[in-house]
Amino acid sequence: MFTTRAATVEDIKAITDIYNEAVLTTDATFDLEPKTEEEQRAWLDSHDSMHPVLMAEQDGAVIGWASLSEWSSRFAYVATAEISLYVKEEFRGKGAGRKLMEDIMREGERVGLHTVLARIVTGNAVSIHLHESVGFERVGIMREVGEKFGRTLDVLLMQRIY
Ligand SMILES: CC(C)(COP(=O)(O)OP(=O)(O)OC[C@H]1O[C@@H](n2cnc3c(N)ncnc32)[C@H](O)[C@@H]1OP(=O)(O)O)[C@@H](O)C(=O)NCCC(=O)NCCS
């Protein structure tokens, strides 16, 4: 069974390791180089009370995380966030992503966000399915905006309004 809880500074290593696994092995993130723990610490620090970060655990061990991050520092975007979620490779396909998705979206509503955006590479059928299943709609496709592993990539922009 998967549980979630708020992230703390103690989770920096796990957040970094899980993210870097996705950087190096997937096109889910357009980062090409692994992040340092210092960079991820600054990233976590940038999340205030309106921008939750959740850790997923199984039997007390961290297996994934999800965040609602600031979409833009321009103030009119104050109630708009962008979602990210990552599950350790060996735990994917077992329901942890769904648990993280449902819990982080509930948190977003609780903290008073108005809308959540998602940028998803068009080949990521699992992520697109997961987002659609909790009410995200397709806004449009940004064509040929990324290059990773020798391929040019399109990105689907999705949105849920609370
Ligand atoms: C995307 C990710 C977070 C999903 O987490 P997960 O634990 O693997 O997902 P779950 O097992 O909870 O759910 C997978 C869902 O996708 C469905 N699914 C599996 N394969 C699928 C496919 N090929 N096409 C569509 N849906 C698929 C499953 O049936 C399940 O849906 P359901 O709950 O309605 O039955 C995880 O795979 C991951 O970390 N991937 C790499 C990073 C990533 O892509 N992050 C998202 C960036 S936008």
126 within domain boundaries: no
75 within domain boundaries: yes
User: How far, in Å, are 49, 93, 100, 133, 161 from residue 6 at the CA level?
Assistant: 11, 22, 11, 23, 23
11 pLDDT higher than 90: yes
Tell me the DSSP string of 128-153.
HHHHHHTT-EEEEEEEEEEEETTEEE
**C-alpha 129 – ligand 1 centre gap (Å):** 7
159 within domain boundaries: no
Query: Which run of H or E residues covers position 35?
Result: none
| CATH number of the domain where residue 89 is located | 3.40.630.30
Q: How high is the pLDDT of residue 86?
A: 98
Cβ atoms of 34 and 22 within 8 Å: the answer is no
Tens of pLDDT, residues 111-153: 999 999 999 999 999 999 999 999 999 999 999 999 999 999 9
How far is residue 143's CA from residue 156's CA, in Å, rounded to a whole number? 9
3-state SS class at 23? helix
Q: How high is the pLDDT of residue 157?
A: 98
Cα 86 off chain centre by: 6
Q: Is 24 in the pocket of ligand 1 (CB under 6 A)?
A: no
3-state SS string for 76-111:
HHCCEEEEEEEECHHHCCCCHHHHHHHHHHHHHHHC
40 within domain boundaries: yes
145 within domain boundaries: no
Q: Is 22 in the pocket of ligand 1 (CB under 6 A)?
A: yes
Tens of pLDDT, residues 46-74: 999 999 999 999 999 999 999 999 999 99
1 falls in which pLDDT band (50, 70, 90)? confident
142 within domain boundaries: no
* Most ligand 1 atoms within 8 A of CB, residue of 82, 119, 121, 130 to mutate: 130
Q: Is 123 in the pocket of ligand 1 (CB under 6 A)?
A: no
**C-alpha 94 – ligand 1 centre gap (Å):** 9
**C-alpha 33 – ligand 1 centre gap (Å):** 23
% of the chain beyond a pLDDT of 70: 100
**CA dihedral defined by 49, 55, 60, 61, rounded to 10 degrees?**
-140
Please give the residue range of the domain that contains residue 66. Answer: 2-115
Q: What average pLDDT is seen over the chain?
A: 98
Q: 42 Cβ partners below 8 Å, 6+ apart? A: none
Q: Into how many domains does the chain fold?
A: 1
C-alpha closest to that of 54 among 92, 15, 23, 93: 15
* Mean pLDDT, range 24-33, rounded to an integer: 98
Q: Is 156 in the pocket of ligand 1 (CB under 6 A)?
A: no
3-state SS class at 64? strand
